[in-house]
Chain A
Amino acid sequence: MVLYLRELARNRKSFIIWTIALLLSDVLMMFFFPTVYDQSKSFNEILRQFPEALASALKLNVLNFGDVLNYFAYVFQYIILFSGIFAMMFGAGALSREEDEKTVEFLMAKPVTRNYIVSAKLLAVLTYLVLFNIIMAAGNFIAFEAVKKESYSVNLLLTVIAGNFLAQVTFAATGFLISVFVVKSKSVLSVSLGVVLGTYFLSIAAGISDKLENLKYLTPFEYVSPAVLVTDGRIEVVYLIIMVCVILLSTALTYSFYNRKNITA
């Protein structure tokens, strides 16, 4: 409990900054919806003229800008990228920061097991991810109510947010595992950005060409693509299984490797 609370306190500032930044960009974009709605006919027209590969890569082909959920799905594609970065950096930073700043000696001289350390930090990251998604859900709900022209399905909105949450946990869990081996804050930052941006581009590549279609299994951005979710209404089972497996496996390996690690900071 001591370490859990400390982790929350330590990351509070950066959590607040990330959340405000992403919430504001999201909600501000949503407030453009009435304008987009008025011109949605010509908008959709223009989009139809995009090269097909580009349109499908950016998921523009399935979206109807006259619909608030569809418009949200378009906006949220970008939000989801940054919330992935945020999750990955929180996950990868939790354990590695103690080593990078050499405070790990202090911590490990306390009467705590390594399992306790990993658990407390996992829980703190998870807490912030839950909190982040609750805030995003609430913020978007308010924005939806303010800008909607017709009724919409709140469930679909929540499905997109749930998808975002799952992708975030997947990134955070992967980040935890990586941070057992990569501890320098600069490397942690570049690896985190590399993984998230890399998988984001994979999802674009998967949309561009049929030959690359199988890449979609490698990228969480494809699993929880907002455009797909608002159209299909659910996350595909196979993707759910992949994410749950990655999360469980990364977490288990993090415990296992961290317990055996030589702390030589």
Chain B
Amino acid sequence: MSVIEISNLTKYYGKSRGIEGVNLQVEEGEIFGFIGPNGAGKSTTIRTLLAFIYPTSGNAKIFGMDCFRDSARIKKNIGYIPSEVNYYEDMKVKDLLNYSAKFYKKDCSGRIAELSEVFELDMNKRIDALSYGNKKKVAIIQALLHEPKLLILDEPTGGLDPLMQNKFFDILREENRKGVTIFFSSHILSEVQKLCDRVAIIKDGRILKVEEIEKLRSNKYKKIKVEFRNGDSIEDFNLPNIVNASMKNRVAEFLYGGQINEMIRKLSQYEIENLWIEEPSLEEIFMHYYEKEVR
């Protein structure tokens, strides 16, 4: 069964574009990555799913129910972590969590205690005295305390130190094992790769690609920069899997998606002044997809 079903969802803010014709299906029990640069439409999609905003056209369903008509019913089983955490400043951490729990009409105290233990969160601190990372922890606990069936996470790791990030991912995996579906939005490819089964890439309001993470991993691109000693050019390389190539002075830059051994064999045939092999930035991978799309 599809937990999230988005069809032809379009949202314009006046004349400016939010998202355009987004189609997505997230299946029960999967961890679905939603990745794209800032301003691509990730938050717009999520805000529409949660009925904070209404679409210009198209529709969306969660648990088979209409996201807008049945929003309140759907939300009984949703946990949401916003990208920017803002809470009531007059509350202490425990006040906020208890307040949040009251909306679900079940006893969440055990869960709150357990999670605050894991994240080492001081329950008696006032919210406005918390650091950004600690506020994020409150948001995480708040999203998990009622044991939702679907987690919608909008760039949830911002502000968490690596240790906490790992704990957070462990908890997500554990929830997932219990059958919880996770919709994970991020602009950091590596964290999506670590966690997700499938990933959708969004840019300029459109879904470019939905791919299994295994595939994305296997055609892993490297960013290679070569400074030739003589007047050679990568035009002569004649290798497949080279994209986004550019040549400036004697320096060639490109993304390479093939076997690294082949590349090294090739490179050894040239006189080379300097060589860099790096992880491509997300933006560069996007550009790759983007260009394919245009062609």
List residues of chain A with CB under 8 Å of any chain B CB.
2, 6, 10, 101-106, 108-113, 116, 260, 262-264
> Given the complex, which residues of A lie within 8 Å of B86, measured CB to CB?
101-103, 105-106
> Is A262 touching B54 in the complex (CB atoms < 8 A)?
yes
State in angstroms the CA–CA spacing of A111 and B148 once bound together. 11
The 4 closest A-B pairs by CB, nearest first: A102-B86, A110-B103, A109-B80, A262-B53
A264 pairs with B13, CB closer than 8 A: yes
B219 at the interface (CB under 8 A from A): no
- Cβ contacts under 8 Å, B74 to chain A: 111
CA of A101 to CA of B80 in the docked complex: distance in angstroms? 18
* CB-based contact A103/B87 at 8 Å: yes
Closest residue of chain A to B76 (Cβ to Cβ) is A111
Instruction: Output the residue of A2, A10, A105, A113 with the most chain B CB within 10 A.
Output: A105
Can you name 21 A-B pairs with beta carbons within 8 Å? A10-B88, A10-B90, A101-B88, A102-B86, A106-B87, A106-B100, A108-B50, A109-B78, A109-B80, A110-B100, A110-B104, A111-B72, A111-B73, A111-B75, A111-B103, A111-B104, A112-B75, A112-B103, A260-B54, A262-B52, A264-B13
Q: Is B71 an interface residue (CB 8 A)?
A: yes
The reply on B99 being an interface residue by CB < 8 A is: yes
- Whether a CB of chain A sits under 8 angstroms from the CB of B65 is no
Contact of B84 among A10, A102, A109, A111 (CB under 8 A): A102
B-chain residues with CB within 8 Å of residue A260 when the two chains form the complex: 54
Mask of B73-108 contacts with A, CB within 8 angstroms, 1/0: 111101010101011111000000001101110000
Q: Which of B73, B75, B88, B89 contacts A110 (CB 8 A)?
A: B75
Docked CA distance A116–B88 (Å): 19
**With the chains together, A24 CA to B73 CA distance in Å?**
47
Verify if B51 is at the interface (C-beta below 8 Å from A). yes
Chain B residues closer than 8 Å to A109, beta-carbon distance: 50, 75, 78, 80, 82
Are A105 and B103 closer than 8 Å at their CB atoms?
A: no
Determine the distance from Cα of A25 to Cα of B24 in the docked complex, in whole angstroms.
62
Alpha-carbon gap, A112 to B105, bound state (A)? 12
Query: Shortest CB–CB separation between residue B38 and chain A, in angstroms?
Result: 16
A10 CA / B84 CA spacing, docked (Å): 22
Once bound together, how far apart are the Cα atoms of A106 and B89, in whole Å? 13
Question: Which of B53, B76, B90, B102 is the one whose CB lies under 8 Å from A263?
Answer: B53
* CB-based contact B75/A105 at 8 Å: no
Q: A184 to nearest B CB, angstroms?
A: 15
**Partner among B13, B52, B89 whose Cβ is within 8 Å of the Cβ of A101:** B89
A118 CB to nearest B CB, Å: 13
Closest chain A residue to B83, Cβ basis: A105
Q: Are B102 and A113 in contact (CB under 8 A)?
A: no
Question: Closest residue to A10 on the B side, CB-wise?
Answer: B90
From the candidates A2, A6, A104, A116, name the one contacting B72 in the complex (CB within 8 A). A116
- Give CA–CA (A6, B90) in the complex, Å: 11
A113 and B90 within 8 A (CB):
no
A6 to B101, CA, bound (A): 13
Residues in A neighbouring B89, C-beta threshold 8 A: 101
Shortest C-beta distance, A100 to chain B (Å), equals 10
A6, B53: Cβ atoms closer than 8 Å: no
> B54 touching A113 by the CB < 8 A rule?
no
**Bound Cα distance from A106 to B79, whole angstroms:** 10
- CB-CB < 8 A to B52: which residues of A? 104-105, 108, 262-264
A103 contacts across to B, CB distance below 8 A: 86-88
Chain B nearest CB from A141 CB (Å) reads 34
A101 cross-chain contacts in B, Cβ below 8 A = 86, 88-89
| Alpha-carbon distance between A102 and B83 when the two chains are bound, in angstroms | 12
Q: Is the CB of B102 within 8 A of A264?
A: no
Task: Provide the bound-state CA to CA distance between A2 and B101, in Å.
Answer: 10
Chain A residues near B13 (CB, 8 Å)? 262, 264
Q: Are A2 and B50 neighbours in the complex by a CB distance under 8 Å? A: no
Closest to A260 in B: B54
Which residues of the partner chain A approach B78 to less than 8 Å between Cβ atoms?
109
Minimum Cβ distance to chain B for residue A32 (Å): 38
Chain A residues contacting B53 (CB-CB under 8 Å) are: 262-264
Distance in angstroms from B93 CB to nearest chain A CB is: 14
Chain B CB count within 10 A is highest, among A106, A116, A263, for A106
Among B82, B99, B100, the one with the most A-chain Cβ atoms within 10 Å of its Cβ is B99
Which residues of B lie under 8 Å from residue A106 when comparing CB positions?
82, 86-87, 100, 142
Question: Which of B72, B78, B89, B142 gathers most chain A CB within 10 Å?
Answer: B72
Q: Min CB distance, B126 to chain A, in Å? A: 15
B100 CB to closest chain A CB (Å) equals 7
Q: How far is the CA of A2 from the CA of B88 in the complex (A)?
A: 15
User: Contacts A262-B52, A263-B53 known; A112 to B72 CB distance under 8 Å?
Assistant: yes
Q: Which residue of A lies closest to B11 (CB)?
A: A262
Q: What's the nearest-Cβ distance from chain B to residue A119, in Å?
A: 13
Task: Give the docked Cα–Cα distance between A106 and B75 (Å).
Answer: 12
Set of chain A residues within 8 Å of B102, measured between Cβ atoms: 2
- Bound-state CA distance A6–B88 (Å) is 11
Give 1 or 0 for each of B235-255: 1 = CB within 8 Å of chain A CB: 000000000000000000000
Closest residue of chain A to B43 (Cβ to Cβ) is A264
- Cα A22 to Cα B40 with chains together (Å): 52
Q: How far is the CA of A106 from the CA of B47 in the complex (A)?
A: 12
